[in-house]
Structure 1
Amino acid sequence: MKLKHSILCASMALAIPAAAFAMGGASGPHTNYIMQGHLGEVMMNPYEIAPLTAVIRDNGYDLSDVTVRIVPKTNGQEIKYTVSRAQLLTHGGIPVFGLYPDYLNHVEVSYTRTLRGKSESFKDTYQLYAPPVYTEVAGIPTERHALFGVKVKKVDPEFKDRLYFVNNLAEKSGIGTRAVWNNPMGGALQWNFFPQNSVVDTAGDIRWYMFANPIFDLQSLYKSGVMMGFKQNDDGMLTWGFGQTYVKYDILGREVFNRRLPLRFNDYSHSMDDAQNGHYFLRVASSNYLRDDGKHVRTVRDMIAEVDKNGVVVEEWRLADILDPYRDNVLKVLDQGAVCLNIDASQAGKTLTAEEIAKADSSDNFGDVVGTGAGRNWAHVNSVDYDPEDDSIIISSRHQSAIIKIGRDKKVKWILGSPEGWKEKFQPLLLKPVDANGKPIKCEGSKCEGGFDWTWTQHTAFKIDEKSKGDIIYVSAFDNGDARGMEQPALPDMKYSRSVIYKIDQKKMTVEQIWEWGKERGHSLFSAVTSLTEYQADKDSVMMYFATAGAQYDLKTGAFNTAPNPTIFEFKWMAKEPSVEIQLLDCTGYQAWPFSIDKAMNATAQ
Structure 2
Amino acid sequence: MVLGACLLASACSKFDEDQAEEAEVGLAEQSAGPTPFIANVALKMKDFDDLDRIAFTVAPKPGTFSKPVAVTYTRAWLERNGAWRPADKRLAFAVFGLYAGYQNAVSITATFHDNSTHALQVAVATPAYTGPGARYSTPQVRTARSATAVPGFDYMMLQNGLATPAVLDTDGNLRWLGARAGDSLSSVFKPDSFYVGSQTAPELFRLRLDGTYTSARLASARYTNFHHDLALGKFGLLAEVDAQDGGIRKIESILAEVGPGGEVLKEWDLNAIFRSTMQAGGDDPSNFVRDGVDWFHMNSAVYVPADDSLLISSRENFVVKLDYASGRIKWLLGDTSKHWYVDYPSLRALALKLKAGKPPVGQHALSMASNGELLLFNNGLGSANQPPGTAPGVTRDYSTPSRYTIDETARTAAETWAYSPTPAIFSDICSSVYESAPGHFLVTYSVAAGRTVTKLIGVDTAGKVAFDFEYPAEGCAVAFIGESINFANLILK
* Pair in the same fold by TM > 0.5: yes
Deviation at 1:461, TM superposition (A): 1.8
- In structure 2, the CA distance between the partners of 1:262 and 1:253, relative to structure 1 (3 Å rule), is farther
Deviation (angstroms), 1:254: 4.3
Q: Does 1:315 align with 2:283?
A: no
Instruction: Tell me how far apart the structure 1 counterparts of residues 408 and 375 of structure 2 sit (CA, whole Å).
Output: 15
How far the C-alpha of 1:458 sits from its partner, in A, is 0.8
Structure 1 portions without partners, runs of 5+: 1-36, 138-143, 171-194, 217-225, 291-295, 328-357, 362-370, 436-451, 469-473, 553-562
* Cα distance in 2 for residues equivalent to 1:94 and 1:161: 26
2 CA distance for matches of 1:431 and 1:120? 59
2:32 matches 1:40 = no
Conservation of the 8 A alpha-carbon contact between 1:107 and 1:125: yes
Letter in 1 for 2:352: L
The 1:44–1:542 alpha-carbon spacing in structure 2 relative to 1, beyond 3 Å, is same
Aligned to 2:430: 530
Equivalent residues, number: 427
Deviation at 1:196, TM superposition (A): 5.4
* Aligned match of 2:283: none
What is the aligned counterpart of 1:478 among 377, 402, 423?
377
User: Could you say what the CA RMSD is over the residues aligned between the two structures, in angstroms?
Assistant: 3.2
What TM-score, normalized to structure 1? 0.64
Correspondence 1:195-594 to 2 at 5 A = 195=163, 197-213=165-181, 216=182, 226-233=183-190, 235-243=191-199, 244=201, 245-255=203-213, 258-260=216-218, 262-276=220-234, 278-288=235-245, 290=246, 296-308=247-259, 310-323=261-274, 373-400=290-317, 402-407=318-323, 408-419=325-336, 420-422=338-340, 423-435=344-356, 452-464=357-369, 466-468=370-372, 474-483=373-382, 495-518=397-420, 520-522=422-424, 525-536=425-436, 538-551=437-450, 563-571=452-460, 575-587=461-473, 588-594=478-484
Structure 2 residue aligned with 1:183? none
Partner Cα separation in structure 2 for residue 120 and residue 78 of structure 1: 26
For each residue in 1:97-132, what CA deviation from the matched residue of structure 2 results, as whole angstroms up to 9, or x when unmatched? 221112222222233579xx9x98443222222232
CA distance, structure 2, for counterparts of residue 478 and residue 231 of structure 1: 18
- Other structure's SS at 1:535 match: strand
State the one-letter code of the partner of 1:85: R
Residue in structure 2 matched with residue 81 of structure 1 by the alignment: 70
Report the Cα distance in structure 2 between the residues aligned to 1:267 and 1:82, rounded to whole angstroms: 34
Question: Among the aligned pairs, what percent are the same residue?
Answer: 19
Q: Which has the higher strand share?
A: 2
Q: CA deviation at 1:497?
A: 0.6
Q: For 2:446 and 2:41, how far apart are their aligned partners in 1?
A: 36
Question: Partners in 2 of 1:134 and 1:535 — Cα distance?
Answer: 32
Q: CA deviation at 1:78?
A: 4.8
Q: Distance in 2 between matches of 1:38 and 1:397?
A: 55
3-state secondary structure, aligned to 1:434: strand
1:544 aligned partner, one-letter code: V
Question: If you compute each CA radius of gyration, which structure gives the higher value, 1 or 2?
Answer: 1
How far is the alpha carbon of 1:82 from its aligned partner? 4.6
Q: CA shift at 1:508, angstroms?
A: 1.6
Q: Distance in 2 between matches of 1:231 and 1:299?
A: 24
Aligned partner of 2:122: which letter? Y
Deviation at 1:157, TM superposition (A): 4.5
